[in-house]
A and B are shown apart, each in its own frame.
Chain A
Amino acid sequence: MTKLRIADKILKQVEKPARYIGQEVNSVIKDKNKVDIRFAFCFPDVYEVGMSHLGMQILYYFLNKREDTYCERVFAPWTDMEEKMRENHIHLFALESQDEIKNFDFIGFTLQYEMSYTNIINLLDLAGVSPWSKDRKEDDPIVCAGGPCAYNPEPLADFIDFFYIGEGEASLNQVLDIYKEHKKQGGTKEAFLEKLLDIEGIYVPRFYEVKYKDNGLIESFTPIHKKAKAKIKKQLVKDLDDSYYPSKVILPWIQTVHDRVNLELFRGCIRGCRFCHAGFVYRPVREKSKEILIEQGKKLLKNTGYEEISLSSLSTSDYSAFKEFSEELLETCQKAGVNISLPSLRIDKFSIDLMNKIQTVRKSSLTFAPEAGSQRLRNVINKRITEEDILKGSQFAFEGGWDRIKLYFMIGLPTEKEEDILEIKELAYKILDTFYSIPKEKRARNIKIVVSSSCFVPKPFTPFQWEPQCRYEDFMDRQNLLKKSIKRKEIQYNYHDATISSLEGLLSRGDRRVGQVIYYAWKYGAKFDSWTEKFNMAAWKKAFELTNIDPAFYANRKRAYDEILPWDHISIGVSKAFLIKEHQKALDEKTTPNCREKCAGCGAKIFERGVCHEIQN
Chain B
Amino acid sequence: MQVVGLRYLKGAYAMKFRIKFSKEGHLKFIGHLDLLRLMQRCIKKAELPVAYSKGFNPHQLIYIALPLSLGATSEGEYMDIELTEDSLMTETEIKDKLNAVFPAGLKVEKVSHVKDKAKSGMAAVDGAEYKVFISKEKMPVYFNEKTEAFFEQKEIWIEKTGKKETKKINIKDKIYRYCVQEDKDFWIIHLLLAAGSKDNLKLETLIEALYQYIALDYNGYDIDIHRVDIYSEVDNQLIPLSNL
A positions within 8 Å CB-CB of B: 1, 4, 8-13, 17-18, 21, 23-25, 251, 253-255, 259, 302-307, 337, 361-362
Contact = CB atoms under 8 A, between A and B. Distances in A.
Interface stretch (B30-38, B74-82, B156-164): B30-38
A241 B176 CA distance: 64
Given A1-B25, A24-B103, A337-B52, A302 B220 contact: no
A17 B25 CA distance: 13
A17 B29 contact: yes
B103 A18 contact: no
Contacts of B221: 8-10, 12-13
Contacts of B38: 25, 251, 253
B179 to A, nearest CB: 24
B103 A23 contact: yes
Contact of B41 (A8, A10, A13, A25): A25
Contacts of A8: 28, 71, 221, 224
Interface in B188-229: 220-222, 224
A23 B45 contact: no
B57 A362 contact: yes
Contacts of B57: 361-362
Nearest to B46: A305
Contacts of A302: 45
Interface hub of A9, A24, A255 (most chain B Cβ within 10 A): A9
Given A1-B25, A1-B26, A17-B29, A304 B34 contact: no
B43 interface: yes
Contacts of A253: 29-30, 34, 38
Nearest to B39: A305
Contact of B34 (A4, A10, A254, A305): A254
B40 interface: yes
B70 interface: yes
Given A1-B105, A18-B31, 6 more contacts: A18-B34, A251-B41, A253-B34, A304-B45, A305-B45, A306-B44
Contacts of B104: 1, 23
Interface of B: 25-26, 28-31, 33-34, 37-38, 40-46, 52, 56-58, 70-71, 101, 103-105, 220-222, 224
The winner among A254, A255, A302, A306 for most chain B CB atoms within 10 A is: A254
18 contacts: A1-B26, A8-B28, A9-B222, A10-B221, A11-B29, A12-B220, A13-B221, A23-B103, A24-B103, A25-B45, A251-B38, A254-B31, A255-B33, A303-B45, A304-B41, A305-B46, A306-B44, A307-B40
Contacts of B44: 305-307
Contact of A361 (B34, B37, B56): B56
Nearest to A336: B44
Contacts of B70: 17
A78 to B, nearest CB: 14
A113 to B, nearest CB: 26
Contacts of B45: 25, 302-305
Contacts of A17: 29, 70-71
A21 B26 CA distance: 7
Nearest to B45: A305
Contact of A362 (B34, B56, B224): B56
B42 to A, nearest CB: 6
A150 to B, nearest CB: 33
Contact of A305 (B26, B33, B43, B220): B43
A4 B28 CA distance: 12
Interface centre among B38, B42, B45, B70 (most CB of A within 10 A): B45
B29 A25 contact: no
Contacts of B30: 18, 253-254
A25 B101 contact: yes
Contact of B42 (A9, A13, A25, A254): A25
Contacts of A23: 26, 103-105
Contacts of B37: 255, 259
Contacts of B34: 18, 253-255
* 6 smallest beta-carbon distances between A and B, as pairs: A305-B45, A305-B44, A305-B41, A12-B221, A17-B29, A21-B26
A1 to B, nearest CB: 5
B160 to A, nearest CB: 23
B29 to A, nearest CB: 4
Contacts of A21: 26, 29
Contacts of B26: 1, 4, 21, 23
Contacts of A10: 221
A74 to B, nearest CB: 17
Nearest to A301: B44
A307 B25 CA distance: 28
